[in-house]
Chains A and B, each alone.
Chain A
Amino acid sequence: MVSRLAQTAGCDNGGDYGFSTFTVNPDQITANYVSLGGFSDNYAIKVPNPPGDFSVNSGVVSVSQGIVGGSGIYSSFGTLNINSFGSFSSSVSLAVGSVSGGLAGTCPGSNCPTLSVSPTTVQPQADGTVSSTLTVSTTTGTPCGNPQQSPASEYSVTLTATSGSMTPRSLTVHIYVYAQSDPTKDGVDNIVDVALVNGLFGQNLGAPRYNPNIDLNNDGRINIIDVTIVNSRFGTVC
């Protein structure tokens, strides 16, 4: 960003015909001509705005093993944002690349997470943002873990956004896969996970204390099934 400044330029034509003072700001250059003969004039040199452009961004998508759907931590859903700048409002096509990462031999393979995006074509309003939903699917055999502790447990996928003849934009989305029994997402199932589930035991969807993040199987009920899930893996590392 160019800040506003004033500058006296050397348009003196030998010193007899006057000079111009220039004021520069991000949008235009304004000059004020001062004549030694007693008159002045103003004129502006306008710089056109750059052409419209867009960007894409997304956060980390956290999913659990073998769960599809729901609205909690284990929702399988992420959001891809397409942002317009400079009145850009053209159609943008989204394409998903192949998933990589995970323990050796996981990707490509039957336990590698799969990703889809919907809708695949979006059109942001000028200077606005439009979103598309990323859906990640895993199997119960997809290797999981806390990427902060075990970097190999991180997956990634490259998304490409294209609009007309513009240079395609690429975005790498990071995917973290946690155990179904690990609502704290620290890579282990310990008493904190057990306490969280049991603390909300009996809370159903719509109840004031219901928390979809603790509803481990995403069935709208925090019940003995969730307790069993978290108890069955107590003491394990994922």
Chain B
Amino acid sequence: MRMKGAGSAVAIVASLVILSIAFHAHATSPPNLSMPNMSGQCLNNGATFVTALTASNMTSVQSWQLNLTFTTGKLAVMNYTLGSAFNGLSTDSTSGNSTSTGYYLLGFTFQGAAGPYTTTFPVTLVTFTWKALVYHPTVFFHIVTSAQNGLFGTMLLDPNQNSQSYTTTDGFLGCQLRPSP
């Protein structure tokens, strides 16, 4: 009986340690900004389609800036829609884009006392609508980081305008499988 009790205690402690490690890893891992991999999608010229840029594990994000580049000559920029967490009252967004040079720069911020935003679940930051300009386009989407472009790279800001760290996953569209980087 005593052995059984001791065994249970050890199991409980071990479970707590595992949970603690798992929670710690989850709580400290930075957000990942991700564009989808649309390998095997064969679009006709003129077809429109959407891509969602998602983020996981956001903590106290008051504002964000997204710099997305894409292969030129294959797509036309149509419009964008903010994710439901970011299109309410007391928000502001602004953007610039160019089909010819292949970039989309998007800024979002909560206004006044609104925000910041925290979630442990994946959330859609923005959904882009595109139009194929060629038959079976092959397009690489690249999330430009702040390390690559200090002032116009992608940023997640806390309420004091401090930059937060993050990771990125670039996107792909094409009939074929995505080539290895």
Contacts and interface: CB of A to CB of B under 8 A. Distances in A.
B65 interface: yes
B107 A191 contact: yes
A235 B152 contact: yes
Interface in A183-233: 186-188, 190-192, 194-196, 198-202, 227, 230-231
Given A191-B157, A199-B62, A234-B105, A186 B151 contact: yes
A199 B94 contact: no
A234 B107 contact: yes
B112 A194 contact: no
B63 interface: yes
Given A234-B94, A235-B96, A198 B152 contact: no
Interface residues of B, number: 22
Given A191-B65, A192-B157, A234-B94, A199 B109 contact: yes
Contacts of A198: 63, 92, 109-112
A194 B95 contact: no
Contacts of B141: none
Nearest to A222: B112
With a 10 A CB-CB cut-off, give which of A198, A202, A231, A235 has the most chain B CB atoms: A198
Interface size range of chain A in the complex: 10 to 19
Contacts of A202: 111-112
Interface in B144-173: 151-152, 155, 157, 159, 161
Residue of A191, A194, A195, A234 ringed by the most chain B CB atoms within 10 A: A191
Given A198-B111, A234-B94, A234-B95, A190 B161 contact: no
B92 A191 contact: no
Given A186-B151, A196-B161, A235-B152, A191 B109 contact: yes
A230 B159 CA distance: 18
Rank and list the top 7 A-B pairs by shortest CB-CB distance, nearest first: A191-B65, A195-B63, A235-B96, A231-B94, A234-B94, A191-B107, A201-B111
18 contacts: A186-B151, A190-B152, A191-B107, A191-B157, A192-B155, A192-B157, A194-B107, A195-B62, A198-B110, A198-B112, A199-B109, A199-B111, A199-B159, A200-B112, A201-B90, A201-B111, A202-B112, A231-B92
Given A188-B152, A191-B65, 20 more contacts: A190-B151, A190-B155, A191-B63, A191-B107, A191-B157, A192-B161, A194-B92, A194-B94, A195-B62, A195-B63, A195-B157, A195-B161, A196-B161, A198-B112, A227-B92, A230-B94, A231-B92, A231-B94, A234-B96, A235-B107
